[in-house]
Amino acid sequence: MTIAIKQLTRTVAIVFVQVGDPVGSGMVDSLARPGGNVTGFMNFDFSFAGKWLDLLKEIAPHLTRVAVFRDDNNPSGIAQFGVIQAMATSVGLQVTPVSVRNSDEIASAVEAFAHSPNGGAIVTGSASNTVHRDLIFKYSSS
């Protein structure tokens, strides 16, 4: 909706709320300097995604691999995964993306990932992860 309104006017001030990735979606040029007539608030800071890796290592220090459940069509999921991938080497983890577009992809990716030891999982915030949460929990806990 914000992008549609932005396309209609360059003079009316627009403030958005709870947007996953305003830069990735094209609403603003940057977070530091949004530019134009649009500014607002994100759902959360993507740097938190790097903290999830720290928490995994704290809970299970033996981990060497992490599966990241994400929606690769969602700008927020792409940004979260980018932070996780960038931080992974600093905490000694190999990252495997798991697309959550459909149940077959989830099942085959988790089964392949589960064949090796010392793995963990991060489930990023997205509607697709919510839709498939029972399946994700089923395969992740087996």
Task: Give the residues across from 142 on adjacent strands.
Answer: none
Classify residue 67 as exposed, middle or buried by CB count within 10 Å of its CB (0-12, 13-18, 19+).
buried
The per-residue pLDDT of the chain, averaged, comes to 82
Domains within the chain, CATH numbers bracketed: 2-42 (no CATH), 48-140 (3.40.50.2300)
The confidence score (pLDDT) of residue 20 equals: 75
Q: What is the mean pLDDT of residues 32-47?
A: 82
* % of the chain exceeding 90 in pLDDT: 15
The confidence score (pLDDT) of residue 111 equals: 81
Dihedral angle, C-alpha 99, 105, 111, 115, nearest 10 °: -50
φ/ψ of residue 85, rounded to 5 = -65, -40
Residue-wise pLDDT for 97-140, tens only, equals 888 777 888 888 878 888 889 998 888 877 676 777 777 777 56
Question: Rounded to a whole number, what is the distance in angstroms from the first to the last CA of the chain?
Answer: 41
Residue-wise pLDDT for 117-127, tens only, equals 999 888 887 76
User: Are the CB atoms for 54 and 91 separated by under 8 Å?
Assistant: yes
Q: For residues 6 and 94, which has the higher predicted lDDT (pLDDT)?
A: 94
